[in-house]
Amino acid sequence: MSDTASTSTRTALIFGGSRGIGAAIARRLAEDGLQVGLTYVSRPDKADDVVASIEASGGTAFAIRADSADPVAIRDAVQQTVDRFGGLDVAVVNAGVLRHGPIETFSLGDLDLTLAVNIRGVFLAIQAAAGAMRDGGRIITIGSNTAIRTGFAGGSVYAMSKAAVAAMVKGAALDLAPRGITVNNIQPGPTETDMTADLIGGIIDLVPLKRVGQPQEIAALASYVAGLEAGYMTGASLTIDGGFVL
């Protein structure tokens, strides 16, 4: 870890930080003492709520509108964070879309959107963040346990996108290792968010612990991976899913 990053307030940018897992991570990293930037695309009210809750707890945060399918918006979000806080130490790439359907009828539009956000957008966020990040930083992607086990029909395209992220992280970890930047992938299982609200009821019985995860549990793992003590772990995919893939 560079002297600058270890002796000054660290800064994090959460791509997709206005709701669900991303919002929980933004709040948790703020609790850990990091200054936080977070992006949103369609719900400024939710983003403002996260910022307000962080500031009410004594933290520092701001929200940036940025579509993770837009490379210019991604680079601008990184630059705004650096301009505001003076540097970047942690990037969490959480933005994603969830589209389900049988492969025979899966639309080209949904395929293109999934690839644009879940794969291309992740690559662009890693690329932009790495270019601005201080040596010894942390890049974390939020993948899915479906990269290991899809588990039900209709999830082929989503699972493909998350398997691609797991593979990408391994290569990115090698590329950035000379700078001491770690790149790791967190793979949640069924987690209670608005994006999964219509799916959870049919999944609980498939989870050995017989419950779904909470965003705060994913955020706790992200807190460790983003921390100074996690500097010897890179290129890893960490599954947190109540035993679903066992």
Tell me the per-residue pLDDT of 81-97, one tens digit each, with 9 for 90 and over: 999 999 999 999 998 99
pLDDT exceeding 90 applies to what percent of the chain? 87
The residues annotated with a catalytic role in the active site are 158
**In this structure, what DSSP letter does residue 104 have?**
T
**pLDDT single digits (tens) 168-210:** 999 999 999 999 999 999 999 989 887 666 777 778 888 999 9
Task: Judge whether 168 lies within some domain.
Answer: yes
Residues of the domain holding 210: 3-239
**pLDDT for the residue numbered 7:** 46
Residues 191 and 214 sit within 8 Å (Cβ to Cβ): yes
> Count of CB atoms within 10 A of residue 210's CB?
10
Residue 130: phi, psi to the nearest 5? -60, -35
Task: Judge whether 75 lies within some domain.
Answer: yes
Give this prediction's pTM.
Answer: 0.94
Task: Judge whether 167 lies within some domain.
Answer: yes
**pLDDT for the residue numbered 197:** 66
Q: Directed axis angle between helix 121-132 and helix 71-85, to 10°?
A: 30
**pLDDT for the residue numbered 206:** 85
Separation of alpha carbons 40 and 62, rounded Å: 11
Task: Judge whether 9 lies within some domain.
Answer: yes
pLDDT under 50 in the chain at which residues?
A: 1-7
Provide the domain count of the chain. Answer: 1
The CATH number of the domain holding residue 232 is 3.40.50.720
Task: Judge whether 54 lies within some domain.
Answer: yes
Residues 186 and 215 sit within 8 Å (Cβ to Cβ): no
Which 3-state string (H, E, C) describes 181-211? CEEEEEEECCECCHHHCCCHHHCHHHCCCCC
Separation of alpha carbons 209 and 134, rounded Å: 40
